[in-house]
Amino acid sequence: MRAPVVIDLETKKTFREVKDNKDLGVSMLGLYNYADQKQYSFEEGELSNAFPLLEGASVVIGFNIISFDLPVLQAYYPGKVTNFKTFDILDYVKETIGKRLSLNDLVSATLGKKKSGHGLLAIEYFREGKIDQLRSYCMDDVMLTKELFDYGAAHNEIIYLNERGKVSIPVKNWKKYLDTDDDVQSHLTLPF
């Protein structure tokens, strides 16, 4: 059964240190698989174990994955990450309201929750060898992204705050991404 996955990744370096996404290095990739309702995490040396899950997904869901996560992952993936069917919540927000919002702003207004840190903290965890904290931070972001997506699919909106209060961002049929289809042919080229 092909089902969605939600991903988030953390890097080893910042854009202050390198100019290109492919040079940032992956410290941790977090993934939630709707097919078995399980969470997975992969350190850099384990990324090849994530590829079958990405290959088998009906869609890869995330927050800023098209501009950030997938280009970083491309340095490790032997195929083309652009072949993954994707849904990027940040891109949807930008196209819908004309501006970018942070994941924290959206989950705070929509779910009443907050991120457990920020990306630079994840780099610090990696550099200090605090892999359990890094894993926890990454998986927190995965699950917040999943919960935000699920809320949008169920309520046909997500929310942010502006100077006047809560503002609804209408969601157009996110439920379609949750449909599973056993007959869908792989849209990728690698034999996983």
Question: Can you spell out the DSSP letters for 9-26?
Answer: EEESS-TTT-SSGGGS-E
pTM for this structure? 0.90
Q: What is the pLDDT of residue 191?
A: 46
Q: Which uninterrupted H or E stretch holds 167?
A: strand 165-170
Tell me, what DSSP letter sits at residue 156?
A: S
Looking up tokens 């049929």 gives 173
Q: Residue 118: what pLDDT?
A: 72
Alpha carbon distance 96, 172 (integer Å): 10
For 57-118, where are the alpha helices, taking DSSP H only?
70-74, 89-97, 103-111
What 3-state DSSP class applies to 43?
strand
State residue 115's pLDDT score: 85
Angle at 185 between CA 179 and CA 187, to 5 degrees: 95
What is the structure's pLDDT at 180? 67
Q: Given this model, what pLDDT does residue 127 score?
A: 93
Q: What is the pLDDT of residue 32?
A: 98
Instruction: Dig out the tokens for 149 from the structure.
Output: 């997506």
Residues 6+ apart with CB under 8 A from 156: 170, 171, 174
CA 50 to CA 81: how far, in whole Å?
A: 13
Q: Do 134 and 26 meet the contact criterion of CB atoms below 8 Å apart?
A: no
Give yes or no for a contact between 158 and 179, defined as CB atoms under 8 angstroms apart.
Answer: no
In angstroms, the CA 148 to CA 157 distance is 10
Please report, in tens digits, the pLDDT of each residue of the chain (192 residues total).
799 999 999 999 877 777 787 889 999 999 999 999 999 999 999 999 999 999 999 999 999 999 999 999 999 999 999 999 999 999 999 999 999 999 999 999 999 999 887 778 899 999 999 999 999 999 999 999 999 999 999 999 999 999 999 999 999 889 999 976 554 444 454 444
Which single residue is written with the structure tokens 């350190």? 43
For helices 131-155 and 119-127, angle between their N-to-C axes, nearest 10 degrees: 150
d(CA 61, CA 134): 21
Return d(Cα 75, Cα 2) in angstroms, integer: 25
